[in-house]
């Protein structure tokens, strides 16, 4: 059996784009993001692993002026203007009924749906894996040349009522997407050292 491929490290330029030089964007160029780009972004995001392939994240791409005006009053001051300026803002939500999709997503063991029958287990699983998927989305966006502005300053209950009424979706965080400007980027904040944050056992 052949070894699994893709063992060559990414080059410095790729790592800079994804991690070391990537920044949270606060000001946006007036350059549109197409529906095709958003579909491509999702098609990359969905490939990231989740527990039992449960894939609980749901992504609402707020792009039209009408949708932006609906979201604006639900954001804290400052975040509202950044959202209005960005070409797209994605609401990353968790589907609390994600287990209903398990027979489709985990066909070799459709009974795995019952692993999440307990509401507490389901909620914990949705938050952990939906947040992972939000992270995958940000890396996927950077990989196709888009910039990101993740934020959590919003009225979650208000967003759920405005965008997810009649569903079991619950908002997790939001992220602006597009092509950023260099203005209003804060100086890079410190990061914890390996010694402070990690241990090899």
From residue 178, give the alpha-carbon distance in Å to each of 8, 104, 124: 29, 33, 31
CATH of residue 52's domain is 3.40.109.10
Establish if 114 belongs to a structural domain: yes
User: Which residue(s) pair with 176 in the sheet?
Assistant: 89, 149
Q: Could you list the residue range(s) of the whole structural domain that residue 167 is in?
A: 24-181
Claim: this prediction has a pTM higher than 0.85: yes
Is 34 part of any domain?
yes
Residue 35 lies in a domain: yes
**Is position 198 within any domain?**
no
pLDDT in tens, 9-31: 999 999 999 999 999 999 999 99
What contacts 136, CB < 8 A, 6 or more positions away? 44, 45, 47, 48
The count of structural domains within the chain is 1
Q: Tell me whether residue 7 is in a domain.
A: no
pLDDT digits (tens, 9 = 90+) for 126-170: 999 999 999 999 999 999 999 999 999 999 999 999 999 999 999
Whether 44 and 140 have beta carbons less than 8 Å apart is answered as yes
pLDDT band at 109 (very low <50, low <70, confident <90, very high): very high
Say if 2 falls within a structural domain. no
Q: Is the pLDDT confidence value at 62 over 80?
A: yes
Q: Check if the beta carbon of residue 85 is closer than 8 Å to that of residue 121.
A: no
Q: Among all chains, which residue has been given the structure tokens 């909620």?
A: 123
Provide the phi-psi class of 41: left if phi over 0, else alpha when psi is between -120 and 50, else beta: alpha
Is 85 inside a domain boundary?
A: yes
User: Is 110 within a domain?
Assistant: yes
């Amino acid at each position: 059996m052949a070894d699994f491929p893709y063992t060559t490290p990414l080059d410095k330029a790729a790592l800079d784009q994804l991690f070391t030089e990537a920044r949270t964007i606060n000001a946006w160029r007036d350059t549109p993001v197409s529906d095709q780009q958003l579909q491509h972004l999702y098609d990359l995001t969905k490939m990231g692993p989740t527990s039992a392939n449960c894939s609980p994240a749901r992504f609402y791409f707020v792009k039209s002026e009408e949708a932006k005006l609906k979201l604006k009053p639900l954001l804290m001051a400052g975040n509202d203007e950044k959202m209005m300026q960005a070409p797209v803002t994605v609401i990353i939500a968790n589907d609390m009924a994600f287990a209903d999709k398990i027979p489709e997503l985990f066909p070799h063991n459709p009974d795995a749906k019952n692993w999440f029958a307990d509401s507490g287990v389901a909620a914990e699983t949705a938050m952990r894996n939906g947040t992972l998927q939000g992270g995958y989305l940000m890396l996927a966006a950077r990989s196709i040349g888009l910039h990101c502005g993740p934020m959590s300053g919003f009225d979650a209950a208000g967003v759920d009522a405005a965008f997810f009424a009649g569903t079991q979706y619950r908002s997790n965080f939001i992220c602006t997407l597009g092509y950023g400007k260099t203005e209003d980027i804060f100086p890079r904040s410190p990061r914890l050292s390996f010694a402070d944050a990690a241990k090899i056992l």
